[in-house]
Amino acid sequence: MVADATVVEVDALTVALIPTKRQMKYVLVTGGVVSGLGKGVTASSIGVVLKACGLRVTSIKIDPYLNTDAGTMSPFEHGEVFVLDDGGEVDLDLGNYERFLDITLTKENNITTGKIYQSVINKERRGDYLGKTVQVVPHITDAIKNWIESVSSIPVDGKDGPADICVIELGGTVGDIESMPFIEALRQLSFSLGDENFCLVHVSLVPVLSVVGEQKTKPTQHSVRELRALGLTPDLLACRSAQPLIEGTKEKLSQFCHVPVSNILNIHDVPNIWHIPLLLWNQNAHEAIMKQLNLSICNAPNFQSWRKMAESYDNLTSSVKIAMVGKYVGLSDSYLSVIKALLHACVACSLKPSVEWVAASDLEDESARSTPQAHAAAWKTIEGCSCILVPGGFGDRGVPGMILAAKYARENKVPYLGICLGMQISVIEFSRHVLGLERANSEEFDPETPHPVVIFMPEGSRTHMGSTMRLGSRRTFFQDLNCTSSKLYGNSSFVDERHRHRYEVNPDFVETLESAGLKFVGSDETGKRMEVLELPNHPYYIGVQFHPEFKSRPGKPSALFLGLVLAATGKLQALLNKA
């Protein structure tokens, strides 16, 4: 894309061409009727089809809750906390954007009510509004507009200069009290930008009541009416449904919602989420959006690779069983990025992941007494899997069960990947059962332990819980390139991965642990913070203090997840021999 330029008269004789800032175009995605419609996936899929047309795409997620960020929210309630390079603890939808669009977002790309009010109140305290009454309109709404406009211009795809299009997802459902200031700010923004710079896609639901079997348009009609009452008019509708919409339903929606049939997209249930961009592409969503935004498609739109990926996944026949031993196994969103990273790695090996959830507490000896059936079932699952993954976590619930899973993996030479807490678990397990330090523990779980093999190493604060951890991208240096992890990372001497933790391996125990056979093969630049451990003479036993799952992408699987899947299927050695 060529930068716009304006002819400016400098003086009577000279005329200079001075590049001006291109006007950012916005696609706003709102949701109606019910929550959980997959607005995030729809919005990121819109990004994918626009990117395939040659546009550079960025995104903003608006969460109308009062928390400043997602860092203090429970994964039980809200799904995983996604971590960015800059240490932002954000909503998991930002992970969808990063994965689908292969971009690197900043914490500012996640706007919350908390952040907006905090910035306005800080300004008020500084005296910036001196003499004025500070109000939701215009002060909060202005802050929202300014935030959107400045954040949308941050480059996120590794290239210089702002993107062409910013996809904004407004969390919640239209009509919620919490989202009102955002709706009003977006209404003002759409008015000031003009139609050709602002496109609104409203995601809604078309249910079928089983008795009649008819596709019902009324809920969508109501939510569009609600949107209009707030001053926003949808340009496109994205209707979620179980089965494809019939023509009559689309015509009815068009008539009552004032949206042309060509702009009514249907997202019906599909075998995997990679099909959503494909669905949108097949319905020419990109053309409808670009027409609205007065943009032309580049000469060679390229959607082939995405199409291939979505379709080839459906044809995979073999699978690999992975035991996920965690605490939050009731809600799979709690470990969303880990699940995605496993998916990317499996697909790279032409396998389907078969994730077997194991509640860590069911593995514990105590559970053999209190819930013997669950205990037996959990161990049967572990024994039936080809590898074990212990993901990150906080708090002591399930820790003894995770220790037993790590012990089982070590002793039975079952491939093991321990992430963050999972790495600390392997250190505790090894200290207890190999070094014989029976009460070895992390200070997090037993502040009085005589053998604190995992301790608090402050980069953060001991007193405040929000945003005080060791967060974001840090560099890990490999001491010896002849280790499995460095080989998997392409024989690299270092790697940058994302972190989110307070506790770390106690440097005072490193020598003892190493002399008993556990190898710390990667550390930070000071050599004090242990980042990667391996167990030689084991097919694959790796613990990492960082979270490799956050940087895994479809088609670019994370090295350590790939290693786990290869080891689980007996193919790792062949790859390492080549490295």
Q: Phi/psi at 406 (nearest 5 deg)?
A: -65, -40
Active-site residue among 275, 286, 501, 547? 547
Question: Segment near ligand GLN (CB under 6 A), from 13-21, 185-193, 197-205, 497-505?
Answer: 497-505
Which is nearer to ligand GLN, 286 or 502 (by Cβ)? 502
Q: Is 256 exposed, middle or buried (0-12, 13-18, 19+ CB in 10 A)?
A: middle
Q: How far is the CB of 502 from ligand GLN (least distance, A)?
A: 4
Q: How far is the CB of 539 from ligand GLN (least distance, A)?
A: 24
The answer to whether residue 549 is catalytic is: yes
Using only C-alpha atoms, the chain has a radius of gyration, in whole angstroms, of 26
Peptide linkage before 138 cis (omega within 30 of 0): yes
User: Does 95 contact ligand GLN by CB under 6 A?
Assistant: no
What is the residue type of 188?
Q
Q: How far is the CB of 203 from ligand GLN (least distance, A)?
A: 32
User: Does 529 contact ligand GLN by CB under 6 A?
Assistant: no
Closest CA to 492 of 476, 507, 474, 504: 476
**How far from the centroid of its chain's Cα atoms is residue 254's Cα?**
34
d(CA 331, CA 37): 17
What is the residue type of 345?
A
Q: Compute how many residues bind ligand GLN; rule: CB under 6 A.
A: 10
- Using CB under 6 A, pick the residue from 501, 529, 538, 551 that binds ligand GLN: 501
**Are 402 and 325 within 8 A, CB to CB?**
yes
Question: Segment near ligand GLN (CB under 6 A), from 317-325, 387-395, 457-465, 471-479?
Answer: 387-395
Which is nearer to ligand GLN, 107 or 547 (by Cβ)? 547
- Using CB under 6 A, pick the residue from 87, 172, 326, 393 that binds ligand GLN: 393
Close Cβ partners of 238 (under 8 Å, ≥ 6 residues apart): 29, 42, 201, 202, 203, 204, 265, 266, 267, 280
The answer to whether residue 108 is catalytic is: no
Q: Where are the beta strands (DSSP E) in 243-299?
A: 264-268
Q: How far is the CB of 394 from ligand GLN (least distance, A)?
A: 4
Q: How far is the CB of 352 from ligand GLN (least distance, A)?
A: 27
User: Does 394 contact ligand GLN by CB under 6 A?
Assistant: yes
H or E element in which residue 185 lies:
helix 180-193
Residue nearest to ligand GLN (CB): 392
Question: Segment near ligand GLN (CB under 6 A), from 107-115, 120-128, 232-240, 391-399?
Answer: 391-399
**How far from the centroid of its chain's Cα atoms is residue 94's Cα?**
5
User: Does 421 contact ligand GLN by CB under 6 A?
Assistant: yes
Which is nearer to ligand GLN, 142 or 496 (by Cβ)? 496
The answer to whether residue 547 is catalytic is: yes
Q: In what order do the strands lie in the sheet with 198-205?
A: 110-112, 57-63, 165-170, 25-31, 198-205, 236-241, 264-268
**Are 181 and 143 within 8 A, CB to CB?**
no
d(CA 195, CA 188): 12
User: Does 444 contact ligand GLN by CB under 6 A?
Assistant: yes
540 DSSP 8-state letter:
S
Which is nearer to ligand GLN, 65 or 394 (by Cβ)? 394
**Are 3 and 23 within 8 A, CB to CB?**
no
User: Does 89 contact ligand GLN by CB under 6 A?
Assistant: no
Question: Segment near ligand GLN (CB under 6 A), from 244-252, 290-298, 302-310, 388-396?
Answer: 388-396
Which is nearer to ligand GLN, 47 or 472 (by Cβ)? 472
- Using CB under 6 A, pick the residue from 281, 430, 503, 561 that binds ligand GLN: 503
**Are 455 and 527 within 8 A, CB to CB?**
no
Residue with tokens 């207890």: 432
Which is nearer to ligand GLN, 286 or 500 (by Cβ)? 500
User: Does 451 contact ligand GLN by CB under 6 A?
Assistant: no
Q: How far is the CB of 104 from ligand GLN (least distance, A)?
A: 20
333 DSSP 8-state letter:
G
d(CA 543, CA 419): 6
d(CA 163, CA 249): 36
User: Does 500 contact ligand GLN by CB under 6 A?
Assistant: yes
- Using CB under 6 A, pick the residue from 420, 440, 562, 565 that binds ligand GLN: 420
- Using CB under 6 A, pick the residue from 502, 529, 538, 551 that binds ligand GLN: 502
- Using CB under 6 A, pick the residue from 40, 326, 392, 543 that binds ligand GLN: 392
User: Does 477 contact ligand GLN by CB under 6 A?
Assistant: no
Which is nearer to ligand GLN, 303 or 456 (by Cβ)? 456
Which is nearer to ligand GLN, 267 or 421 (by Cβ)? 421
Task: Tell me how many helices (H) and strands (E) the chain has.
Answer: 20, 23
d(CA 522, CA 310): 36
Which is nearer to ligand GLN, 119 or 468 (by Cβ)? 468
Q: How far is the CB of 378 from ligand GLN (least distance, A)?
A: 21
Question: Segment near ligand GLN (CB under 6 A), from 67-75, 165-173, 346-354, 496-504?
Answer: 496-504
Active-site residue among 80, 420, 451, 501? 420
Q: Phi/psi at 111 (nearest 5 deg)?
A: -95, 135
SS3 category, 45: helix
User: Does 531 contact ligand GLN by CB under 6 A?
Assistant: no
Question: Segment near ligand GLN (CB under 6 A), from 161-169, 314-322, 354-362, 499-507?
Answer: 499-507
CA geometry: angle 375, 381, 387, nearest 5 deg = 130
Which is nearer to ligand GLN, 123 or 397 (by Cβ)? 397
Contact residues for ligand GLN, defined by CB under 6 A: 392-394, 420-421, 444, 500-503
Residues with catalytic roles = 420, 547, 549
